[in-house]
A and B are shown apart, each in its own frame.
Chain A
């Protein structure tokens, strides 16, 4: 997810220049409204610009954090939050970005995470970096063991662990295994680990996204407590209610640029205000024009519930009802981790999750989608969000990847007709414009957009009636995006039914006919595209979050 977020920033940034002018200009004044002189600044990031080949992920972003404050960083997926924090924590070392990081009055030239940690800047990622089968004490001091001559001093380790655990409000035995703890406690262990490294600036990336309300409260209370001890925190979160409760300052990023810096003590900041800043951009003609022709229901899903494959008590998708009509492009909006991919994959031959319950009707008849083969035969296909891991055999050619889901169509009696296979590959190469010297090209050598087109071709060749496209334009450039949108439009016009999962709201608004909004495993809203706005979607999400 971390990686995905940063690649997301790559793509939205490509569109940024055109939107610069559309963003309201009134906010820039607020950025400088603070009186800096009499404040104790622990961190100042000045004019940070970070480019990836061809695009700017961060464009001239400045940020100030005072000693002992909670500084919230908000923005849509791909706004550049994670990239900014990777610059700060040394993942992108000095020299790989433009601008300065001034920390405690000193200009930092970080070479890596070890460097930033030694300065007391510690980042806790959304996915916890704990080793489940090691004890709490072993995890806290991993890589930083209390030892002499390589021999670990266990009594001291356990004593210090108990001390740290007390500080974060836990009373666990230092020798119990991390895998025996709940997610909330694991998050606290991460913080205890940060404390063991004498943290001065704690960065938390979506720390409460997988926690229940009580655990979230504990964590937020802890951050407030740290303020008193002079520890500053940067909190990345989508949960605006939490942010307005604890944050001292809020920085809003959009498309890699700084939109506003809001001082929560100077004025009351409403959630609507933050949402407006987060999404404030207009849709231009980045989407091909389309006249929808929507027929009757093709697929109906009733009360679909999916449990986590490893933690069967966790419901990843709960009680989802969905209806898809012929010729319709149906969007599912939501933040990362909302359960959208899990919903799609569980529908597609139960390729995700366990204890799946619910009912699927296709063309009015109840169907069994128990295996992937059955799902394909029922006319379903799922185009993955992660084409490298789940979509392509990267070592193999375009020609060999395309027929993979429907090999029998290019074979007779189990014998592959390579002429037909080649013809099929060339056909798709032309039809959807896969740019390559020839179809014997290994897919690993293609650009993201062309890889995506190969995956799409594979599924189009399987001739599905219902296509589920999961983040179909992730990590590809604007031109290729337009081509993918055009393919989607043409498929719908040909009577196919399409579900698009995307974290980019403008994209959903631009290509879909109807939207479901998903949050924490549930559908929390349904909108026709005519009535939908980014603000409405965002507020449905944040109001449903607890």
Chain B
């Protein structure tokens, strides 16, 4: 029982030399991004360029915004080793609550939004309480929540649709950021925001690479580093150029970008994030390390409830009405997005970016297949198979490692 046999020690010490080798060894991390690019290219070609037409791209983002907002919260829930089946119903319930408050009681929409977000957090906290402190399986608690809030939505709306919302409220999801530069034909401000974002990302990753170099732990080949950043920067600038050619960046895209960056930061840089990963990775070890596993689980669910509420507001604003059917089966899309994005069913593994990319994969397929005129029946079949394939790929990769 030597600590390392000579062969494995040698293999471990040998740094990957080529970009191809690096991609192969990091297939789990980049595979999903590559898959999204391939799927987009495929539909772009098959639809004769419609997929990336400015108007369709804008539509694609609006259509998927609420799924992505919830996927961000769901990722944390799943990383912590749980699941939340109630998010679709909570989304519907909050939409209904907003409609009743704004349309029937004529309450100011800012006040309504704050009350709704608080209500969502409270719903999540109630479910999280049972899961964290009474060890009731999340599957059961949130399955109950799914039924309860579906019922409460029906009750609140009395079976009717309520709408329309005032103009200002609709702007959450149908508005675009104003063009401060007022150029002809193209929203120059939106484009510059895209360029700015791309520049910031490049500066950030260059800085972190330089830091790694200084302490000598770089294992990403330079060619790969360069290509990766070039592609990401190009994609961001190109997409913002396309969006700018229509009406600019949608408000909801800003909300999403904000959430994605904040939650990526929380997940990867803060003690809270670190502890959530530890809980999902090995709850017993985390607990014995003095981590308050119950409180963190509780907070994770409260956060999920709040994000579901935000998604509920966005969805209601987009439809411009609250309907009893809102949110039906959304939880499945959200959970699928997180798993396609590489999260592990057993917890402890997954990234916010992965979940967002997973949601976009589902969204692009929905959108592309609809343009191609593929019926909803086959769309479901194909989406199901893609989910299965993504998870098989993940498990296969893990077993190989």
Residues in chain A within 8 A of chain B (CB atoms): 10, 14, 52-55, 348-349, 351, 372-373, 375-376, 382, 384, 389-396, 400, 404-405, 407-408, 411, 414-416, 418-419, 422, 435-438, 440-441, 445, 447-450, 458, 462, 476-477, 479-480
Asked whether B290 lies within 8 Å of A477 as measured between CB atoms, the reply is: no
Residues of B within 8 A of A448 (CB): 1
Q: Given A14-B1, A394-B282, A438-B217, does the pair A351, B287 have CB atoms closer than 8 Å?
A: yes
Asked whether A476 lies within 8 Å of B275 as measured between CB atoms, the reply is: no
What 7 A-B pairs are tightest by C-beta distance, nearest first?
A: A393-B281, A477-B1, A405-B289, A54-B1, A437-B12, A404-B289, A447-B3
> Of B13, B211, B284, which is in contact with the most chain A CB atoms at under 10 Å from its CB?
B284
In the complex, whether B286 has a CB less than 8 A from a CB of chain A is yes
> Of B275, B289, B290, which is in contact with the most chain A CB atoms at under 10 Å from its CB?
B289
Q: Given A391-B285, A393-B285, A394-B282, does the pair A407, B274 have CB atoms closer than 8 Å?
A: yes
Q: Given A407-B274, A415-B270, A416-B274, does the pair A477, B288 have CB atoms closer than 8 Å?
A: no
Residues of B within 8 A of A477 (CB): 1-3
In the complex, whether B104 has a CB less than 8 A from a CB of chain A is no
Residues of B within 8 A of A384 (CB): 288
- Shortest CB–CB separation between residue B164 and chain A, in angstroms? 42
What are 8 pairs between A and B in contact, CB < 8 Å? A372-B290, A384-B288, A389-B282, A392-B282, A393-B278, A396-B278, A422-B215, A440-B217
Asked whether A372 lies within 8 Å of B288 as measured between CB atoms, the reply is: yes
Residues of A within 8 A of B285 (CB): 389-393, 404
In the complex, whether B277 has a CB less than 8 A from a CB of chain A is yes
- Shortest CB–CB separation between residue B278 and chain A, in angstroms? 5
B272 to A, closest residue via Cβ: A414
- Shortest CB–CB separation between residue B256 and chain A, in angstroms? 23
A405 to B, closest residue via Cβ: B289
Main secondary structure of the interface of B (DSSP, over half): helix
Bound Cα distance from A395 to B12, whole angstroms: 17
Asked whether B3 lies within 8 Å of A404 as measured between CB atoms, the reply is: no
Q: Given A55-B1, A437-B12, does the pair A396, B277 have CB atoms closer than 8 Å?
A: yes
Asked whether B211 lies within 8 Å of A351 as measured between CB atoms, the reply is: no
Residues of B within 8 A of A445 (CB): 12
Please report the number of residue pairs spanning A and B whose Cβ atoms sit closer than 8 angstroms. Answer: 105
- Shortest CB–CB separation between residue B9 and chain A, in angstroms? 8
B283 to A, closest residue via Cβ: A393
Residues of A within 8 A of B292 (CB): 373
Asked whether B270 lies within 8 Å of A435 as measured between CB atoms, the reply is: no
Bound Cα distance from A445 to B291, whole angstroms: 24
In the complex, whether B184 has a CB less than 8 A from a CB of chain A is no
Asked whether B288 lies within 8 Å of A390 as measured between CB atoms, the reply is: yes
Residues of A within 8 A of B399 (CB): none
Bound Cα distance from A422 to B217, whole angstroms: 10
Bound Cα distance from A29 to B400, whole angstroms: 52
Residues of B within 8 A of A349 (CB): 290
Asked whether A53 lies within 8 Å of B13 as measured between CB atoms, the reply is: no
Residues of A within 8 A of B1 (CB): 10, 14, 52-55, 447-448, 476-477
Residues of B within 8 A of A400 (CB): 274, 277-278
Q: Contact check: which of A382, A395, A438, A449 meets B288 at CB < 8 Å?
A: A382
- Shortest CB–CB separation between residue B91 and chain A, in angstroms? 29
> Of B269, B270, B274, B286, which is in contact with the most chain A CB atoms at under 10 Å from its CB?
B274
Residues of B within 8 A of A435 (CB): 3-4
A412 to B, closest residue via Cβ: B271
- Shortest CB–CB separation between residue B61 and chain A, in angstroms? 30
What class of interface size applies to chain B in its complex with A?
20 to 34
Over the window 273-311 of chain B, the binary record of Cβ atoms lying under 8 Å from chain A Cβ atoms (1 yes, 0 no) is 011011001101111111110000000000000000000
Residues of A within 8 A of B215 (CB): 419, 422
Q: Contact check: which of B272, B277, B284 meets A390 at CB < 8 Å?
A: B284
A14 to B, closest residue via Cβ: B1
- Shortest CB–CB separation between residue B290 and chain A, in angstroms? 5
Residues of B within 8 A of A10 (CB): 1
Residues of A within 8 A of B3 (CB): 435, 447, 449-450, 477, 479-480
In the complex, whether B348 has a CB less than 8 A from a CB of chain A is yes
14 other A-B residue contacts (CB within 8 Å) besides A395-B348, A411-B271? A10-B1, A52-B1, A53-B1, A351-B287, A393-B277, A393-B282, A393-B348, A396-B348, A404-B285, A404-B289, A407-B271, A407-B274, A437-B13, A450-B3
B281 to A, closest residue via Cβ: A393
Residues of A within 8 A of B284 (CB): 389-390
- Shortest CB–CB separation between residue A382 and chain B, in angstroms? 7
Asked whether B269 lies within 8 Å of A404 as measured between CB atoms, the reply is: no
- Shortest CB–CB separation between residue A169 and chain B, in angstroms? 40
B278 to A, closest residue via Cβ: A393
Asked whether A404 lies within 8 Å of B287 as measured between CB atoms, the reply is: no
Over the window 95-131 of chain B, the binary record of Cβ atoms lying under 8 Å from chain A Cβ atoms (1 yes, 0 no) is 0000000000000000000000000000000000000
Bound Cα distance from A278 to B106, whole angstroms: 86
Q: Contact check: which of A373, A390, A480 meets B290 at CB < 8 Å?
A: A373
- Shortest CB–CB separation between residue A375 and chain B, in angstroms? 8
Bound Cα distance from A52 to B1, whole angstroms: 9
Q: Given A390-B284, A447-B1, does the pair A416, B12 have CB atoms closer than 8 Å?
A: no
A375 to B, closest residue via Cβ: B290
Q: Which residues in window 306-342 of B have CB below 8 A to A?
A: none
In the complex, whether B171 has a CB less than 8 A from a CB of chain A is no
In the complex, whether B349 has a CB less than 8 A from a CB of chain A is yes
Bound Cα distance from A400 to B2, whole angstroms: 25
Asked whether B270 lies within 8 Å of A394 as measured between CB atoms, the reply is: no
Bound Cα distance from A468 to B157, whole angstroms: 60
- Shortest CB–CB separation between residue A457 and chain B, in angstroms? 12
Bound Cα distance from A437 to B11, whole angstroms: 10
Residues of A within 8 A of B281 (CB): 393-396
Residues of B within 8 A of A458 (CB): 289
Bound Cα distance from A27 to B211, whole angstroms: 66
Residues of B within 8 A of A393 (CB): 277-278, 281-282, 285-286, 348
- Shortest CB–CB separation between residue B166 and chain A, in angstroms? 39
B273 to A, closest residue via Cβ: A416
Residues of B within 8 A of A411 (CB): 270-271
- Shortest CB–CB separation between residue B265 and chain A, in angstroms? 9
Residues of B within 8 A of A438 (CB): 217
Asked whether A447 lies within 8 Å of B12 as measured between CB atoms, the reply is: no
- Shortest CB–CB separation between residue A51 and chain B, in angstroms? 11
Bound Cα distance from A17 to B95, whole angstroms: 75
- Shortest CB–CB separation between residue B268 and chain A, in angstroms? 9
Residues of B within 8 A of A52 (CB): 1
Residues of A within 8 A of B4 (CB): 435, 447
Over the window 1-23 of chain B, the binary record of Cβ atoms lying under 8 Å from chain A Cβ atoms (1 yes, 0 no) is 11110000000110000000000
Bound Cα distance from A390 to B278, whole angstroms: 12
Residues of A within 8 A of B290 (CB): 349, 372-373, 375-376, 405, 462
B275 to A, closest residue via Cβ: A407
Asked whether B217 lies within 8 Å of A404 as measured between CB atoms, the reply is: no
Bound Cα distance from A416 to B272, whole angstroms: 9
Residues of A within 8 A of B217 (CB): 422, 438, 440
Residues of A within 8 A of B275 (CB): 407
Q: Contact check: which of A55, A394, A415, A441 meets B269 at CB < 8 Å?
A: A415
- Shortest CB–CB separation between residue A459 and chain B, in angstroms? 9
Bound Cα distance from A104 to B76, whole angstroms: 60
Residues of B within 8 A of A372 (CB): 287-290
Residues of B within 8 A of A382 (CB): 288
Q: Given A393-B286, A450-B3, A479-B3, does the pair A404, B278 have CB atoms closer than 8 Å?
A: yes
Bound Cα distance from A13 to B184, whole angstroms: 83
> Of A400, A407, A422, A448, which is in contact with the most chain B CB atoms at under 10 Å from its CB?
A407
Bound Cα distance from A142 to B286, whole angstroms: 37
Q: Which residues in window 9-68 of B have CB below 8 A to A?
A: 12-13
- Shortest CB–CB separation between residue A346 and chain B, in angstroms? 13
Bound Cα distance from A195 to B281, whole angstroms: 43
Residues of B within 8 A of A14 (CB): 1
- Shortest CB–CB separation between residue A389 and chain B, in angstroms? 6
Residues of B within 8 A of A55 (CB): 1
Residues of A within 8 A of B289 (CB): 372, 404-405, 458
